[in-house]
Amino acid sequence: MILGLKKGHKHLEETRKKMSLGKKGKHHSAETRKRIREALKKKYPGGRKHSEETKRNMSISRKKYLDKHPEAKKKISEFLKTRKVSAETRRKIRLSNLGKQRSEEVKRKMSEAMKKRMQADGWTPMAKGLKWSEESKRKASVLRKKLLKERPDVTEKISKTWFKKGHQGGRQFKKGQTSTFKGKHHSEESKRKNSEAHKGRHSPGTGFKKGNIPQNKGKKASPEAIRKNSEAMKKRMQADGWIHPMKGKHHSEEWKRKKSEEMKKRMQADGWIHPMKGKKASPVARLRRLSMKGKHHSEESKRKIQKIQKNGMPMVENLGTRERQEFFLKNQNGK
The answer to whether position 265 is within a domain reads yes
What are the pLDDT digits (tens) for 55-92? 999 999 999 999 999 999 999 988 888 888 899 999 99
**What is the number of domains present in the chain?**
1
User: Is 90 exceeded by the pLDDT of residue 47?
Assistant: no
The answer to whether position 316 is within a domain reads yes
User: Is 90 exceeded by the pLDDT of residue 102?
Assistant: no
Torsion sign, CA atoms 38, 42, 46, 52? negative
The answer to whether position 157 is within a domain reads no
What are the pLDDT digits (tens) for 152-174? 888 888 777 765 554 444 445 56
From residue 130, how far is each of 133, 136, 142, 209, 276 by CA, in Å?
9, 12, 21, 18, 61
Domain enclosing residue 303, as ranges: 260-331
Once rounded to an integer, what is the mean pLDDT over residues 278-295?
A: 80
The answer to whether position 215 is within a domain reads no
The answer to whether position 158 is within a domain reads no
> What is the structure's pLDDT at 205?
56
Sequence-separated (6 or more) residues with CB below 8 Å from residue 324: 272, 316
What are the pLDDT digits (tens) for 237-286? 888 788 888 888 889 999 999 999 998 888 888 787 877 788 888 888 78
Alpha helices, DSSP H, located in 151-252: 152-165, 188-198, 223-239
The answer to whether position 3 is within a domain reads no
Q: How sure is the predictor about 324, in pLDDT bands with cuts at 50, 70 and 90?
A: low
> What is the structure's pLDDT at 317?
47
The answer to whether position 72 is within a domain reads no
The answer to whether position 284 is within a domain reads yes
